[in-house]
Amino acid sequence: MANVGKNIKQIRIKKKMTQDDLADKLFVSRQTISNYETGRSNPDIEMLIKIAEVLETDVNILIFGIPTPPDKKQDYIKLIISLSITLLLSIGIGIYTPYAEKWMKDTFDYGLMFINIIFLHPLLLLSLGYCLMQAFRILFGTKPLTGKIFTIIHHIIIAFLVVYGIIVIPFCMDKLFTAGEMLRLSKLQTSYSSSQIKHFLPGAWEQLILQIYGFFAYFHSRFPSIYLFHGTFFLLGIGLWGTGRSKKEAAASSMDTPSAPGSDRSDSAG
């Protein structure tokens, strides 16, 4: 309660009211208001509610003060990091793709190209979606959504990405390992059979990947204008940002939203 007087004075001045104006509306003397603002005395809960009603503010703001605006520095740091990741992925894919295409033409092995499709491009679009929303936050003040349902959605998105990574990353490593084996065998002998190529993943793992991607490919063949597979990861990036509000931000948001005057009175009465 130490800063209540300062908060009352700050909000009163912001509302362009004099001590006399506030005193008249509260049916108290100007000296009483002066005592509140200088800290000589403190208003009780009942008087705080009345002051909040007159000043058209929230009791919490009278007690804790006007919430300070969020520090934009952290937002810029997040944008720089997400933008850097997106640019690095774009450059990496630009360098990797020609080599993967050449490898596929020379060896008829789709493995390296498939890494591009199921891992690198989705990762890029996920990063792009997140980066876009972070830019919107800085430019337009867009805020992540709060509430229990959005927290659950955020956890579901993270769980999906973790499961997808667990399935896809070993597959990509296997394809890189296979490409290395094929390169090694081509240097040792002019021809070799597929049975000589080593894999560290069972064939069922690859079939699972092909079935997952096959579902999206079939959908795309029916609706060519809808890029469901890669579009899903772009939307996941947006969703990851849009549901990822921190507890600190949520608390600040609840402070920014004024409660109905007198709501504290009903709570205390209960």
Burial class (CB in 10 A: 0-12, 13-18, 19+), 78: middle
- For residue 269, what pLDDT is reported? 36
pTM flag (> 0.75): no
Superfamily, domain 4-66: lambda repressor-like DNA-binding domains (1.10.260.40)
Taking the CA atoms of 79, 84, 85 and 87 in sequence, report the sign of the dihedral they define.
positive
- For residue 196, what pLDDT is reported? 65
Alpha-carbon span 234 to 59, nearest angstrom? 42
- For residue 214, what pLDDT is reported? 77
- For residue 230, what pLDDT is reported? 81
- For residue 99, what pLDDT is reported? 93
Residue ranges of the chain that CATH labels 1.10.260.40: 4-66
The phi, psi pair for 161, rounded to 5°, reads: -65, -40
Ranges under pLDDT 50 in the chain: 251-252, 254-270
Residue 223: Cβ within 10 Å count:
10
Alpha-carbon span 181 to 163, nearest angstrom? 28
Residue 171 · residue 116 · CB < 8 Å: no
- For residue 89, what pLDDT is reported? 96
Cα–Cα distance list, 115 to 33, 101, 184, 246, 263 (Å): 71, 11, 20, 33, 57
Alpha-carbon span 40 to 32, nearest angstrom? 9
Write the single-letter amino acid at 96. Answer: Y
